[in-house]
Amino acid sequence: MKRIAVVAMTVAAGAALVSGGYWLGTRNAGGGHPTARAAEAASKPSEGERKVLYWHDPMVPGPRFDKPGKSPFMDMQLVPVYEDEASDSGVRVAPGIQQNLGIRTVAVARSQVSAAFDAIGTVQFDERQVTAVQTRVPGYIERLFVRAPMERVAAGQALATVFAPDWLGPLGELAALKRAGVDPDLVAAARERAQALSIPQDLVRRAEAGEPVTGRFTVSAPTAGVVAELGVRDGVAVTPGTTLFRIAGLQRVWAIAQIPEFQAVRLAQGQRVKAALQADPSQTFSGELKELLPQVSESTRTLQARFEVDNRPGRLVPGMLLRLEVAGPTTARLVVPAEAVIRTGTRAVAFVRRDERTFEPREVKLGADLGELLEVTEGLSEGEQVVASGQFLVDSEARLRSVLGSMTAAGSPSGAPAKAGATYTTRGKVESVDADGVLISHEPVLELKWPSMTMGFSRADPKALPELKSGDVIEFEFREGGPMGWELVAARRQGRAQ
């Protein structure tokens, strides 16, 4: 009896275990493990949830993945791209991702901007102050008092002594008539003849006073300056019209500056300028624009401007460099930071914040380059928020979506489908090169019905391609395939972008 009771208890315990195991098995079969259910929910969204098109790394937006997970490029999780985001005209970036990527926006503002700019000018003689010292009679240089070019001279300083034999006759005749006491009319006629021969008044006066007639006279400096040209030496013969000296005044000098063509249109004759020595900015001078020479250099696209600078202290000499601060009017202009504009060579694009998550690419027209700021003439309004930091990441996303927004299952850009194994040829400019691929702004591809666009290409065989650099203009062949959807097969460098 006791044995039967023990067996009965054992059978009851086994039945309880079996029934408990059945109940647990039913629970697990119906619901599954919580971790498994979460993974299944992430990969298979339920009805009413947003549909995920693909996952990608925002830092390397080219490669696409069909499952979530960790990025093979960066230490971060892949980010989903939803169907409603791809069909939107803007670029959607979650606030958390914006913070992680350091996306910063600034307001488009109207600012008072001066049209003043700086230029470098080279000091030259003012050619309008150059005086030529000549002789009007045949003769000889008996003695030079200034013996080297670029010597400074004062007004009235003796430069040379000239002996003129042809003057001895007229001066002797005048002296003889004066001593003979002839009719004053004859003396006056002899005096006029001497003056007609350009005999200096001092020699005429001494001949009339009865002093010995020598025919020697001293050439003096008509103005202060430097001897820019010395045309004679001791003992040389001179003829009428011979230039003995060229004296350049230093009271005013020219500063010759090369002005870029786009800045030259702002200049006007008489515009004031403040000049400072390049070697010593504490020494300043005032001046004005005298002439803008009507010729553009084809190689540098600059015009030559001639500024007249006050040099009465005489501290400026030819060859010195001056930093010219050209004054200009102040006007209100719509400006954005230069870093907020992406220039592709043919157009300029800024990304405008539409709401907390969405950015809209906007083509803009630029005015003057103001250094850290750029003037915007069309495309933006005052108060709009534009991306100033991280815009290249937003631009990468925008390009990705514009190319892949209507992608097929194979991930091809919108247009005609690619033929299996076919290669296509076009031309383009290399925008950037990295280990993952090459970003190229290319011309239209008629076979694929692609417009001009900028897109990334992986390399089919990196060793077979030349060493490409940013700015290279290339003719290249590509085909469908690779981690970016399209890959380079061959490339031929044709030059550099201007």
Domain 127-248 - what CATH class? mainly beta
**Residue 193: half-sphere exposure toward Cβ, Cα within 13 Å:** 16
Provide the pLDDT for residue 209. Answer: 83
Domains 99-115+331-399 and 406-496 fall in the same CATH topology:
no
Query: Measured between alpha carbons, how far is residue 109 from residues 334, 374, 392 in Å?
Result: 6, 11, 22
pLDDT block averages, 10 residues each, the chain of length 498: 36 38 38 39 51 75 78 77 60 74 87 82 92 90 92 92 88 85 85 84 84 86 92 91 92 92 82 90 91 88 92 90 85 88 81 84 85 87 88 64 41 59 90 82 87 82 76 90 83 82
Q: How many CB atoms lie within 10 A of CB 470?
A: 13
Q: How many CB atoms lie within 10 A of CB 427?
A: 13
Q: Are 141 and 159 in contact (CB under 8 A)?
A: no
Which backbone phi and psi does 16 adopt, to 5 degrees?
Answer: -65, -40
- Write out the two tokens for 98: 């914006």
Which backbone phi and psi does 254 adopt, to 5 degrees?
Answer: -100, 145
* CA nearest to 137, candidates 210, 227, 191, 216: 216
Q: Are 287 and 310 in contact (CB under 8 A)?
A: yes
Q: How many CB atoms lie within 10 A of CB 292?
A: 18
Strand order across the 237-238 sheet? 216-220, 158-163, 139-144, 237-238
- Write out the two tokens for 26: 């039913």
What is the Cα–Cα distance from 90 to 357, expressed in whole angstroms?
A: 10
What is the Cα–Cα distance from 445 to 293, expressed in whole angstroms?
A: 47
Q: Which fold has domain 406-496?
A: OB fold (Dihydrolipoamide Acetyltransferase, E2P) (2.40.50)
What is the Cα–Cα distance from 91 to 361, expressed in whole angstroms?
A: 8
Provide the pLDDT for residue 28. Answer: 38
Q: How many CB atoms lie within 10 A of CB 341?
A: 20
**Residue 84: half-sphere exposure toward Cβ, Cα within 13 Å:** 7
Q: Count Cβ neighbours within 10 Å for each residue of 53-81 and write b for 16 or more, e otherwise.
A: bbbbbbebbbbbeeeeeebeeeeeebbbb
Q: Are 388 and 105 in contact (CB under 8 A)?
A: yes
Provide the pLDDT for residue 256. Answer: 94
Would you state the CATH architecture of domain 99-115+331-399?
Answer: Beta Barrel (2.40)
Strand order across the 152-153 sheet? 130-135, 242-248, 225-230, 152-153
Q: Where are the domains of the chain?
A: 1-32, 42-87, 99-115+331-399, 127-248, 406-496
What is the Cα–Cα distance from 132 to 58, expressed in whole angstroms?
A: 75
- Write out the two tokens for 218: 């001293």
Q: Residues near 465 by Cβ (< 8 Å), separated by ≥ 6?
A: 459, 488, 490, 491
DSSP secondary structure letters along 95-155: HHHHHHHT-EEEE-EEEEEE--EEEEEEEEE-GGGEEEEEESS-EEEEEES--STT-EE-T
